[in-house]
Amino acid sequence: MKDLRVGVIGSGGRGGLAVHAHRPGKGSVVAACCDSNPAVLEWNRERYGKDVFTTKDYRKLLDQDLDAVFVTTPDFLHEEHALAALTKGLGVYLEKPMAITIKGCDRILAAARRERARLFVGHNMRYMTVFIRMKQIIDRGDIGEVKSAWCRHFVSYGGDAYFRDWHSERRYTTGLLLQKGAHDIDMIHWLTGAYSKRVSAFGNLAVYGRCKRRPKSEKGIATFNAAHWPPLKQQGFSPVINVEDQNVMIMELERGILGSYLQCHFTPDSCRNYTIIGTEGRIENVGDGPESPIFLWNRRKDGYEMIGDQVFRGGTVSASGHGGADEVIVQEFLQYVRKGGKTTATPEAARMAVAAGCQATESLRNGGKPMHVPALKE
Protein backbone atom coordinates (compact mmCIF):
# COMPACT_ATOMS: atom_id res chain seq x y z
CA MET A 1 0.00 0.00 0.00
CA LYS A 2 1.41 3.36 -1.07
CA ASP A 3 1.53 6.00 1.67
CA LEU A 4 -1.03 8.79 1.34
CA ARG A 5 0.78 12.10 0.91
CA VAL A 6 -0.64 14.65 3.29
CA GLY A 7 -0.19 18.44 3.54
CA VAL A 8 -0.92 20.73 6.49
CA ILE A 9 -2.07 24.35 6.12
CA GLY A 10 -1.52 26.04 9.48
CA SER A 11 1.01 23.47 10.65
CA GLY A 12 1.62 24.91 14.15
CA GLY A 13 -0.93 25.12 16.98
CA ARG A 14 -3.78 22.74 16.23
CA GLY A 15 -1.87 21.70 13.08
CA GLY A 16 0.21 19.54 15.45
CA LEU A 17 -2.67 17.07 15.07
CA ALA A 18 -1.02 15.98 11.82
CA VAL A 19 1.68 14.10 13.76
CA HIS A 20 -0.88 11.28 13.91
CA ALA A 21 -0.81 11.15 10.10
CA HIS A 22 2.97 10.85 9.87
CA ARG A 23 3.60 7.12 9.71
CA PRO A 24 6.03 6.60 6.84
CA GLY A 25 5.67 3.13 5.36
CA LYS A 26 2.53 2.51 7.43
CA GLY A 27 -0.11 4.28 5.33
CA SER A 28 0.50 8.03 5.35
CA VAL A 29 3.21 10.64 5.46
CA VAL A 30 3.20 14.39 6.12
CA ALA A 31 4.84 15.58 2.89
CA ALA A 32 4.20 19.35 2.97
CA CYS A 33 3.59 22.05 5.56
CA CYS A 34 2.48 25.65 5.25
CA ASP A 35 2.58 28.18 8.06
CA SER A 36 2.98 31.94 8.25
CA ASN A 37 5.39 31.50 11.18
CA PRO A 38 8.94 30.46 10.14
CA ALA A 39 9.61 28.95 13.60
CA VAL A 40 6.72 26.54 13.01
CA LEU A 41 8.19 25.49 9.65
CA GLU A 42 11.50 24.84 11.39
CA TRP A 43 9.69 22.58 13.88
CA ASN A 44 7.93 20.85 10.98
CA ARG A 45 11.28 20.00 9.36
CA GLU A 46 12.54 18.58 12.66
CA ARG A 47 9.34 16.58 13.21
CA TYR A 48 8.63 15.33 9.69
CA GLY A 49 12.17 15.06 8.32
CA LYS A 50 14.28 17.06 5.89
CA ASP A 51 12.25 15.95 2.84
CA VAL A 52 9.09 17.72 3.98
CA PHE A 53 8.22 20.62 1.68
CA THR A 54 7.72 23.84 3.67
CA THR A 55 6.26 27.15 2.58
CA LYS A 56 4.51 30.27 3.85
CA ASP A 57 2.18 30.26 0.84
CA TYR A 58 -0.66 27.73 0.85
CA ARG A 59 -0.96 27.91 -2.95
CA LYS A 60 2.56 26.51 -3.26
CA LEU A 61 1.64 23.71 -0.87
CA LEU A 62 -1.39 22.87 -3.03
CA ASP A 63 0.87 22.63 -6.09
CA GLN A 64 2.66 19.66 -4.49
CA ASP A 65 1.80 16.05 -5.23
CA LEU A 66 -0.70 15.43 -2.38
CA ASP A 67 -3.70 13.21 -1.66
CA ALA A 68 -5.12 15.16 1.29
CA VAL A 69 -4.63 18.25 3.45
CA PHE A 70 -5.36 19.30 7.00
CA VAL A 71 -6.71 22.86 7.22
CA THR A 72 -5.88 23.94 10.76
CA THR A 73 -5.56 27.69 10.32
CA PRO A 74 -7.64 30.19 12.36
CA ASP A 75 -11.39 30.10 11.73
CA PHE A 76 -11.65 33.07 9.36
CA LEU A 77 -9.23 31.36 6.92
CA HIS A 78 -11.06 28.01 6.80
CA GLU A 79 -13.28 28.90 3.87
CA GLU A 80 -10.50 30.23 1.64
CA HIS A 81 -8.13 27.35 2.42
CA ALA A 82 -10.75 24.60 2.20
CA LEU A 83 -12.18 25.88 -1.09
CA ALA A 84 -8.71 26.02 -2.66
CA ALA A 85 -7.90 22.47 -1.53
CA LEU A 86 -11.29 21.05 -2.59
CA THR A 87 -10.93 22.68 -5.99
CA LYS A 88 -7.77 20.60 -6.43
CA GLY A 89 -9.88 17.52 -5.66
CA LEU A 90 -7.96 16.76 -2.45
CA GLY A 91 -9.34 15.05 0.64
CA VAL A 92 -9.75 17.80 3.27
CA TYR A 93 -9.68 17.60 7.07
CA LEU A 94 -11.11 20.97 8.07
CA GLU A 95 -11.00 22.08 11.69
CA LYS A 96 -14.13 23.24 13.49
CA PRO A 97 -15.93 25.55 13.15
CA MET A 98 -16.34 24.69 9.49
CA ALA A 99 -16.46 28.43 8.62
CA ILE A 100 -17.51 31.63 10.36
CA THR A 101 -20.70 32.14 8.30
CA ILE A 102 -23.53 29.88 7.13
CA LYS A 103 -22.96 30.99 3.54
CA GLY A 104 -19.29 30.09 3.89
CA CYS A 105 -20.23 26.56 4.99
CA ASP A 106 -22.66 26.20 2.10
CA ARG A 107 -19.97 27.27 -0.38
CA ILE A 108 -17.61 24.65 1.07
CA LEU A 109 -20.28 21.91 0.91
CA ALA A 110 -21.12 22.88 -2.69
CA ALA A 111 -17.44 22.76 -3.71
CA ALA A 112 -16.97 19.32 -2.14
CA ARG A 113 -20.02 18.04 -3.99
CA ARG A 114 -18.98 19.61 -7.29
CA GLU A 115 -15.42 18.26 -7.11
CA ARG A 116 -16.53 14.92 -5.61
CA ALA A 117 -13.85 15.58 -3.00
CA ARG A 118 -13.74 13.89 0.40
CA LEU A 119 -14.46 16.56 2.99
CA PHE A 120 -14.27 15.86 6.71
CA VAL A 121 -14.71 18.32 9.61
CA GLY A 122 -12.71 17.85 12.82
CA HIS A 123 -15.45 17.50 15.42
CA ASN A 124 -13.19 15.39 17.64
CA MET A 125 -15.57 15.35 20.61
CA ARG A 126 -17.60 12.73 18.74
CA TYR A 127 -14.56 10.46 19.12
CA MET A 128 -14.13 10.84 22.89
CA THR A 129 -14.94 7.57 24.62
CA VAL A 130 -17.11 9.18 27.31
CA PHE A 131 -19.45 10.70 24.71
CA ILE A 132 -19.46 7.59 22.52
CA ARG A 133 -20.64 5.64 25.58
CA MET A 134 -23.23 8.28 26.46
CA LYS A 135 -24.63 8.18 22.93
CA GLN A 136 -24.80 4.37 22.95
CA ILE A 137 -26.81 4.46 26.21
CA ILE A 138 -29.19 7.09 24.84
CA ASP A 139 -29.59 5.34 21.47
CA ARG A 140 -30.42 1.98 23.05
CA GLY A 141 -33.32 3.68 24.85
CA ASP A 142 -32.18 3.71 28.49
CA ILE A 143 -33.67 7.19 29.08
CA GLY A 144 -36.66 6.64 26.79
CA GLU A 145 -37.56 9.27 24.21
CA VAL A 146 -35.16 12.24 24.38
CA LYS A 147 -36.89 15.53 25.15
CA SER A 148 -34.33 17.90 26.76
CA ALA A 149 -30.60 18.54 26.29
CA TRP A 150 -28.66 20.97 28.47
CA CYS A 151 -24.96 21.79 28.40
CA ARG A 152 -22.99 23.79 30.97
CA HIS A 153 -19.54 24.73 29.74
CA PHE A 154 -17.03 26.21 32.20
CA VAL A 155 -13.93 27.51 30.38
CA SER A 156 -11.21 28.31 32.91
CA TYR A 157 -8.66 28.86 30.16
CA GLY A 158 -10.94 31.33 28.33
CA GLY A 159 -9.08 34.44 29.50
CA ASP A 160 -5.78 33.08 28.22
CA ALA A 161 -6.92 31.36 25.04
CA TYR A 162 -9.60 33.63 23.58
CA PHE A 163 -9.05 37.23 24.62
CA ARG A 164 -5.39 37.73 23.72
CA ASP A 165 -5.22 36.99 19.97
CA TRP A 166 -7.47 36.72 16.87
CA HIS A 167 -10.20 34.93 18.86
CA SER A 168 -11.18 38.23 20.53
CA GLU A 169 -12.50 39.83 17.33
CA ARG A 170 -15.81 39.21 15.61
CA ARG A 171 -14.28 39.59 12.15
CA TYR A 172 -12.10 36.53 12.82
CA THR A 173 -14.59 34.30 14.68
CA THR A 174 -18.12 35.81 14.51
CA GLY A 175 -18.12 35.20 18.29
CA LEU A 176 -17.18 32.64 20.92
CA LEU A 177 -20.68 31.18 20.97
CA LEU A 178 -19.73 29.89 17.52
CA GLN A 179 -15.95 29.47 17.90
CA LYS A 180 -16.06 27.51 21.15
CA GLY A 181 -19.70 26.52 21.11
CA ALA A 182 -19.53 24.76 17.71
CA HIS A 183 -18.31 21.68 19.61
CA ASP A 184 -21.13 21.75 22.15
CA ILE A 185 -23.89 22.58 19.70
CA ASP A 186 -22.68 19.68 17.56
CA MET A 187 -22.67 17.41 20.63
CA ILE A 188 -26.23 18.42 21.52
CA HIS A 189 -27.28 17.69 17.92
CA TRP A 190 -25.40 14.36 17.91
CA LEU A 191 -26.50 13.09 21.33
CA THR A 192 -30.15 13.90 20.65
CA GLY A 193 -30.09 12.97 16.95
CA ALA A 194 -31.84 16.27 16.18
CA TYR A 195 -30.80 19.59 14.63
CA SER A 196 -31.71 23.04 15.94
CA LYS A 197 -34.64 24.69 14.19
CA ARG A 198 -34.87 27.92 16.20
CA VAL A 199 -32.48 29.58 18.62
CA SER A 200 -32.32 32.58 20.87
CA ALA A 201 -29.47 33.88 23.03
CA PHE A 202 -28.14 36.47 25.42
CA GLY A 203 -24.49 37.24 25.92
CA ASN A 204 -22.20 39.99 27.12
CA LEU A 205 -18.62 40.96 27.83
CA ALA A 206 -18.90 40.89 31.60
CA VAL A 207 -15.27 40.65 32.73
CA TYR A 208 -12.47 40.77 30.16
CA GLY A 209 -13.59 44.12 28.74
CA ARG A 210 -12.41 45.61 32.07
CA CYS A 211 -8.91 44.05 32.00
CA LYS A 212 -5.67 45.76 31.03
CA ARG A 213 -4.88 45.61 27.29
CA ARG A 214 -1.54 45.16 25.55
CA PRO A 215 -0.34 47.79 23.10
CA LYS A 216 -1.17 47.09 19.44
CA SER A 217 2.56 46.79 18.73
CA GLU A 218 2.93 43.76 21.04
CA LYS A 219 2.00 40.23 19.99
CA GLY A 220 -0.61 38.48 22.13
CA ILE A 221 0.40 35.36 24.05
CA ALA A 222 -2.47 32.89 24.26
CA THR A 223 -0.91 30.22 26.49
CA PHE A 224 -2.66 28.84 29.56
CA ASN A 225 -1.12 30.01 32.82
CA ALA A 226 -2.67 28.80 36.10
CA ALA A 227 -1.26 31.86 37.88
CA HIS A 228 -3.51 34.15 35.79
CA TRP A 229 -6.11 34.51 38.52
CA PRO A 230 -8.39 36.26 39.42
CA PRO A 231 -9.42 37.49 35.96
CA LEU A 232 -9.80 41.21 36.75
CA LYS A 233 -6.18 41.41 37.98
CA GLN A 234 -4.81 40.17 34.64
CA GLN A 235 -3.27 42.13 31.77
CA GLY A 236 -2.00 41.58 28.22
CA PHE A 237 -5.45 41.34 26.66
CA SER A 238 -6.17 42.15 23.00
CA PRO A 239 -6.51 45.83 22.12
CA VAL A 240 -9.80 44.92 20.39
CA ILE A 241 -12.26 42.69 22.26
CA ASN A 242 -15.71 42.67 20.74
CA VAL A 243 -16.77 39.09 21.47
CA GLU A 244 -18.76 38.00 24.54
CA ASP A 245 -17.23 36.23 27.56
CA GLN A 246 -20.50 34.65 28.69
CA ASN A 247 -23.29 33.28 26.54
CA VAL A 248 -26.67 31.74 27.26
CA MET A 249 -28.40 30.03 24.33
CA ILE A 250 -31.74 28.24 24.09
CA MET A 251 -32.64 25.92 21.26
CA GLU A 252 -35.75 24.41 19.76
CA LEU A 253 -34.65 21.19 18.08
CA GLU A 254 -36.41 18.69 15.88
CA ARG A 255 -38.91 16.22 17.46
CA GLY A 256 -39.99 18.73 20.12
CA ILE A 257 -36.66 18.60 21.94
CA LEU A 258 -35.60 21.73 23.82
CA GLY A 259 -31.96 22.53 24.50
CA SER A 260 -29.82 25.02 26.35
CA TYR A 261 -26.15 25.89 26.21
CA LEU A 262 -24.40 27.96 28.87
CA GLN A 263 -20.83 29.09 28.22
CA CYS A 264 -18.65 31.08 30.63
CA HIS A 265 -15.02 32.08 30.07
CA PHE A 266 -14.08 33.32 33.55
CA THR A 267 -14.61 30.26 35.74
CA PRO A 268 -11.79 28.90 37.95
CA ASP A 269 -12.31 25.36 36.65
CA SER A 270 -13.08 23.70 33.33
CA CYS A 271 -15.78 21.20 32.50
CA ARG A 272 -18.28 20.29 29.83
CA ASN A 273 -21.33 18.87 31.43
CA TYR A 274 -24.24 17.55 29.35
CA THR A 275 -27.57 16.47 30.79
CA ILE A 276 -29.94 14.66 28.48
CA ILE A 277 -33.45 14.00 29.77
CA GLY A 278 -35.86 11.51 28.25
CA THR A 279 -39.28 10.09 29.05
CA GLU A 280 -37.69 7.37 31.22
CA GLY A 281 -34.63 8.92 32.80
CA ARG A 282 -31.77 11.39 32.82
CA ILE A 283 -28.12 10.94 31.88
CA GLU A 284 -25.23 13.26 32.67
CA ASN A 285 -21.45 13.24 32.23
CA VAL A 286 -19.08 14.89 34.67
CA GLY A 287 -15.90 15.69 32.74
CA ASP A 288 -14.80 14.58 29.31
CA GLY A 289 -11.79 12.37 30.06
CA PRO A 290 -11.93 8.66 29.19
CA GLU A 291 -12.48 7.74 32.87
CA SER A 292 -14.99 10.53 33.59
CA PRO A 293 -18.20 9.15 35.08
CA ILE A 294 -21.54 9.08 33.31
CA PHE A 295 -24.48 8.96 35.71
CA LEU A 296 -27.87 7.57 34.76
CA TRP A 297 -30.91 8.19 36.98
CA ASN A 298 -33.97 6.13 36.12
CA ARG A 299 -35.62 5.42 39.51
CA ARG A 300 -38.10 7.94 40.85
CA LYS A 301 -37.17 9.63 44.13
CA ASP A 302 -38.22 12.71 46.07
CA GLY A 303 -34.80 14.35 46.21
CA TYR A 304 -31.39 14.46 44.60
CA GLU A 305 -28.57 11.97 44.66
CA MET A 306 -25.33 13.06 43.09
CA ILE A 307 -24.35 9.54 42.10
CA GLY A 308 -26.74 8.05 39.53
CA ASP A 309 -28.70 4.81 39.82
CA GLN A 310 -26.14 3.46 37.38
CA VAL A 311 -22.61 4.68 36.68
CA PHE A 312 -20.74 4.18 33.41
CA ARG A 313 -17.37 5.23 32.06
CA GLY A 314 -16.11 5.78 28.54
CA GLY A 315 -13.14 3.53 29.11
CA THR A 316 -9.45 4.01 28.69
CA VAL A 317 -7.88 4.41 25.31
CA SER A 318 -4.44 3.61 24.01
CA ALA A 319 -4.50 6.47 21.48
CA SER A 320 -3.22 9.98 22.27
CA GLY A 321 -4.39 13.64 22.14
CA HIS A 322 -7.66 15.03 23.60
CA GLY A 323 -8.33 11.82 25.51
CA GLY A 324 -7.42 9.62 22.55
CA ALA A 325 -9.90 11.26 20.20
CA ASP A 326 -7.31 13.07 18.07
CA GLU A 327 -5.42 9.99 16.97
CA VAL A 328 -8.66 8.12 16.29
CA ILE A 329 -10.22 10.95 14.27
CA VAL A 330 -7.08 11.34 12.13
CA GLN A 331 -7.08 7.61 11.37
CA GLU A 332 -10.76 7.75 10.42
CA PHE A 333 -10.09 10.71 8.12
CA LEU A 334 -7.23 8.89 6.38
CA GLN A 335 -9.38 5.79 5.98
CA TYR A 336 -12.14 7.98 4.51
CA VAL A 337 -9.70 9.54 2.02
CA ARG A 338 -8.63 6.06 0.94
CA LYS A 339 -11.94 4.25 0.85
CA GLY A 340 -14.83 6.71 1.34
CA GLY A 341 -17.82 5.39 3.29
CA LYS A 342 -19.51 6.68 6.44
CA THR A 343 -17.80 8.79 9.10
CA THR A 344 -18.83 9.68 12.64
CA ALA A 345 -18.29 13.42 12.11
CA THR A 346 -19.90 14.79 8.96
CA PRO A 347 -19.61 18.12 7.12
CA GLU A 348 -23.41 18.42 7.04
CA ALA A 349 -23.61 18.22 10.84
CA ALA A 350 -20.69 20.66 11.10
CA ARG A 351 -22.62 23.11 8.93
CA MET A 352 -25.68 22.75 11.17
CA ALA A 353 -23.57 23.54 14.25
CA VAL A 354 -22.30 26.69 12.53
CA ALA A 355 -25.83 27.60 11.43
CA ALA A 356 -27.15 27.37 15.01
CA GLY A 357 -24.10 29.19 16.43
CA CYS A 358 -24.28 32.02 13.88
CA GLN A 359 -28.01 32.52 14.35
CA ALA A 360 -27.67 32.49 18.14
CA THR A 361 -24.91 35.09 17.89
CA GLU A 362 -27.16 37.21 15.68
CA SER A 363 -29.89 36.80 18.30
CA LEU A 364 -27.75 37.84 21.27
CA ARG A 365 -26.65 40.97 19.43
CA ASN A 366 -30.30 41.81 18.71
CA GLY A 367 -31.89 41.65 22.12
CA GLY A 368 -32.37 37.88 22.20
CA LYS A 369 -34.65 37.80 19.15
CA PRO A 370 -35.60 34.19 18.20
CA MET A 371 -33.86 33.19 14.96
CA HIS A 372 -34.75 30.50 12.45
CA VAL A 373 -31.87 28.11 11.71
CA PRO A 374 -31.75 27.48 7.95
CA ALA A 375 -31.86 23.78 7.07
CA LEU A 376 -29.29 22.11 4.85
CA LYS A 377 -29.74 22.74 1.13
CA GLU A 378 -30.83 19.61 -0.79
Ligand X SMILES: NC(=O)c1ccc[n+]([C@@H]2O[C@H](COP(=O)([O-])OP(=O)(O)OC[C@H]3O[C@@H](n4cnc5c(N)ncnc54)[C@H](O)[C@@H]3O)[C@@H](O)[C@H]2O)c1
Name the residues that contact ligand X, by CB under 6 A.
9-10, 12-15, 34-37, 40, 58, 72-75, 77, 95-96, 122, 124, 322
Cα gap 357→364, rounded to integer Å: 11
Cβ of residue 329: shortest distance to ligand X, in angstroms? Answer: 8
Residue count (the chain): 378
CB closer to ligand X, 278 vs 347: 347
Cβ of residue 182: shortest distance to ligand X, in angstroms? Answer: 8
CB closer to ligand X, 100 vs 277: 100
Cβ of residue 13: shortest distance to ligand X, in angstroms? Answer: 2
CB closer to ligand X, 200 vs 263: 263
CB closer to ligand X, 143 vs 189: 189
Cβ of residue 307: shortest distance to ligand X, in angstroms? Answer: 29
CB closer to ligand X, 79 vs 95: 95
CB closer to ligand X, 208 vs 295: 208
Cβ of residue 188: shortest distance to ligand X, in angstroms? Answer: 16
Give long-range contacts, CB 8 A cutoff, 24+ apart: 235-238: 235/211, 236/164, 236/212, 237/159, 237/163, 237/164, 237/168, 237/208, 237/211, 237/212, 237/213, 238/163, 238/164, 238/165, 238/168, 238/169, 238/213, 238/214
Cβ of residue 150: shortest distance to ligand X, in angstroms? Answer: 22
